[in-house]
Structure 1
C-alpha cells in the first residue's frame, strides 16, 4: 500500500467517523430543542385552558353575587321562575333576565367590583374588560374594566348570556395575564432555560471534543506519513548496503566495504534511536520510567557530542563551550540524549553555510542551567507555543515551508518529558532568522 492509498484510507475513515459524530450531535440538539418546545407549548396550552376555565367561573360567580344583590332589593316573597335550559343557556340566565324585566337592571359597576375581588383572590390579576354585547348583532352595548391594551396572552372565556335570546351576553377578557402565566410557568421556564444552557454547553463541549479529536487524528495521520517517508530512506540505505556487501563485489575494496558497513550501522542506529525515543516517551508519559540521577560531569558529554556531530554533519559546524557549572545532578544517559537532540536540531535548522553552536552552564540559587545557543534559522513566535507538543514536527510537514527538514516531532517533546521527569524546566528563546536558545533548568540535589 503506497503513501497515497494510506492517506486516502485514513481520510475516508476520518470523514466517516466525524460525519457520524456531527450528524448525531445535530440530531441530539434538534431532539432536545423539539422536546423542550413540545413541553412548553403543551404546558402553556394547559395553563391557558385552566385560566380560561377559572375566568369563566369567576364571571359566573360575580354575576351570581350581583344578581343576588339585585334580588335582595325585590319585595319579600318574590319568586323567579326558570326556563328551558340547554348546553348554551345556563339556568341563571332566566334569573338575570326576569330581574331585568322586573325593573332591576344589572349594574356593571357592582359586577366590576365583585369581579375584581374574585380575580385577585384567584391570582388572576386585575387587568381585564367586562363587555356587554348583543351577540345577535355583534354590537358592544357597554363595557367596564381597567382599560389595559390587549396582548398575545389575552384570555377570552366563552360568553355568559343574561338574556335567553342572546341580545345581551357578558364576556370577561383578561387583557394581559402575564403575571399569572409567569407564576404558574416560572419553575418550568427556569428549568427549561437551565436545560437549554446545559444542552448548548454540552453541544459546544462535544464540538470542541470533535475538533480536538479531528486535530489528534490529523496529527496521527501526519505522523504516519512522516514515519513512512523518513523510515523509507534509512531502510533503503541499509538494504542497498547489505546488497552490495552480500554480493561480494566489495571483497577486493576494503575501504569501500568499510564505508558501506558504516552507512548501515549509522542508519540502524538512527532507527533504534527513534524506536527507543518513542518507547521512552510512552514510559515517561505513564510515569513508569525512573530517572537515575547523580552528579554528572558535563565536559566529557559535551566533548563526545561535539566530536560526533562535527564528523557527522554535512555542513560546517563550530562548537564552543563555556561550562561555569561543571556538574549537573541528572540521569547521565538522558542528559546526553537531551543535549544530542538540541545539537542535532541546531544543525538541521541552520543555513547551508554552517552554524555556530555554543553550550553554556551556570548556577543560580535553585538550578543548574544548561543552555544550547545557535545562530540558525530561528523559530517563529507562533511555533514557539507548540514546538514541545508531541508530533508537532510531523504536523508541521503540511505548513507552507516544504523545504524544512522532516521529522516525527518527538525530539523536543522528548526533551520536555525528560526535564519534567527531572522535576526541571525547559524554555526556548528565539528570533526568526537570527538565533535560537534552549535553556534547561536542572534542580540542585
Structure 2
C-alpha cells in the first residue's frame, strides 16, 4: 500500500473514532443535563412549599387553603398554599425562595448559579426577578413554570445559569479518559505510519541494494570471464606482460567480490549474534601503515595521510577492526574533493579506552543525514553528498563499522561540519570480559 493511501486510510479511521467519541460524549452530556433538569423541576415544588411555611410563621391571620378534587390532578399542592397566603396579603418572597432553592440544589449535589423569575406565564413576561441581568439562552437549564395563583395568572420559573460546570465536573473522569485514549490512539497511529514508512524505505533500499549488487558483481564477473577466455585462447601465451596484467585484474576482481561477500556475511552474523570474535592485542601502527599504503596505491585522487598514533595497541579482532578502519578511510576518500587529507590518530582516554579516529577535509555530513548515516543500505544521503551521481557501494560500510564496534562492546562517534570535515572516532575497551 502506498504511503498516501496509508495516511488517507488512517485519517479516515481517526475521524471515525473522533466522531464516535464525540457522539458518546454528547449523549453523556445530554443524559446528565436531563437528570439535572428533572431534579430542578422536582425541587421547585419543595422550595415553594418551604417558602410558604416560612411566611405562614410570620403572619398571625387566619387563612383558608382551598382544595378541589378536579384541580388536584393539574395544580400542585404548593399553588394552593401560595394562593391562601396571597389572599391574606402575603406575597411570595423571591430572595427567600432563592436561598431555599439553592440549599436544595446543594443537597442534590448540583452546583450552579440561579435566577428566579415571577412572571405572567401566558405572555411569558417577567414581573420580578432575583437578577437584574437577563440570563443567556446558551448552556442554561430552565424549569417549567409553576403557578402560584389558582387562575394561573402568576408563575415561578427558575433558570440555572451555569449548570455546564457541574455537568463537566461529573464527566471529568470520562473526559480525562477520552483525552488520554485519543492521545494514545493518535500516538499508535503515528507510530504505525512511521513503521510502515520505515518498512517501505527498507524494502526500497533492499531492492536498490539488489540491483546495485547485481550490477557491481556483473562487472568483475565479466572481467574474470573475459580474462579466462583470453587465457584459454592462448593468444597471449607469448606476451608475459599482458598475461600478467590479465591475471592481476582477475585476482583484484575476485578479491573485490570476496570482500563484498564477506561484508554481507559478517553483517548477517552480527544481526543474528553468531559472529565469533578472536580478540587479541592488535599492533595499530603496522595495521594503519599497511592500510594507508594500499589506499595510496589504489587511489585515483591526490591523498595525503597524517598519522599520530599515541596508542600503539588495541584489544580487538584484528581482521574485523582492520576492515572497519578500512571502511572509514574508504568513505573519507569517496566523499572528498580531488585533493584529500586524511588524519588518522589513536590515543587512550580517561575511561580506559583505546580511541581510533579518522578525519578528512571532505564534504562533511549534514545534521539531517546524521540520523540515518549508520543505517543499513543508507544510500540517499550518500548520493547527495558525493555530488557525482552517487558514490559506488551499497550503503553497508558505516553500518558494518558500527556493528563491528558494538560487537567489541565499544562505541563510535561522529563529529562533522557540512562542507568542511568529517571525523569518526572508535572507542574500544582495553579489556573485554569474555563470555
Q: Match for 1:60 among 23, 35, 45?
A: 45
1:174 CA displacement: 1.2
1:92 maps to 2:77: yes
Flag the 1:420–1:161 CA change in 2: closer, same or farther, 3 A: same
Give the paired residue count: 427
Q: Match for 1:391 among 370, 374, 377?
A: 377
Task: Please tell me whether the aligned partners of residues 224 and 253 of structure 2 are also in contact (alpha carbons under 8 angstroms).
Answer: yes
1:43 maps to 2:28: yes
Distance in 1 (CA, whole Å) between partners of 2:414 and 2:23 is 57
1:268 maps to 2:275: no
1:112 maps to 2:98: yes
1:401 maps to 2:387: yes
Distance in 2 (CA, whole Å) between partners of 1:394 and 1:143 is 75
Match of 1:12 in 2: none
Q: Match for 2:7 among 22, 37, 49?
A: 22
Give RMSD over aligned pairs: 3.7
1:228-377 aligned at under 5 Å gives the runs: 228-247=214-233, 249-298=235-284, 300-302=286-288, 304-306=290-292, 308-315=294-301, 325-352=311-338, 361-362=346-347, 366-372=352-358, 377=362
Distance in 1 (CA, whole Å) between partners of 2:394 and 2:213 is 6
Match of 1:197 in 2: 183
Flag the 1:278–1:332 CA change in 2: closer, same or farther, 3 A: same
Structure 2: give runs of 5+ residues left out of the alignment.
none
Specify the SS of the correspondent of 1:173: strand
Structure 1: give runs of 5+ residues left out of the alignment.
1-15
1:281 CA displacement: 1.7
1:419 CA displacement: 2.3
Distance in 2 (CA, whole Å) between partners of 1:82 and 1:71 is 21
1:290 CA displacement: 2.4
Task: Please tell me whether the aligned partners of residues 148 and 175 of structure 1 are also in contact (alpha carbons under 8 angstroms).
Answer: no
Flag the 1:404–1:98 CA change in 2: closer, same or farther, 3 A: closer
1:166-205 aligned at under 5 Å gives the runs: 166-205=152-191
Flag the 1:336–1:158 CA change in 2: closer, same or farther, 3 A: same
1:292 CA displacement: 0.8
1:322 CA displacement: 6.1
Task: Provide Cα deviations, 1:243-293, integer angstroms capped at 9, x if missing partner.
Answer: 444555445544434433332332222122112111212222333212211
1:361 CA displacement: 4.7
1:315 CA displacement: 5.0
Distance in 1 (CA, whole Å) between partners of 2:223 and 2:265 is 24
Distance in 2 (CA, whole Å) between partners of 1:184 and 1:172 is 22
1:111 CA displacement: 3.2
Q: Match for 1:157 among 136, 140, 143?
A: 143
1:319 CA displacement: 5.9
* TM-score, with length taken from structure 1: 0.79
Specify the SS of the correspondent of 1:132: strand
Flag the 1:413–1:74 CA change in 2: closer, same or farther, 3 A: same
Task: Please tell me whether the aligned partners of residues 424 and 440 of structure 1 are also in contact (alpha carbons under 8 angstroms).
Answer: yes
Distance in 2 (CA, whole Å) between partners of 1:398 and 1:254 is 44
Distance in 2 (CA, whole Å) between partners of 1:338 and 1:411 is 8
1:17 CA displacement: 4.3
Flag the 1:85–1:250 CA change in 2: closer, same or farther, 3 A: farther
Task: Provide Cα deviations, 1:190-226, integer angstroms capped at 9, x if missing partner.
Answer: 3223323333333444444445445444544543453
Task: Please tell me whether the aligned partners of residues 357 and 373 of structure 1 are also in contact (alpha carbons under 8 angstroms).
Answer: yes
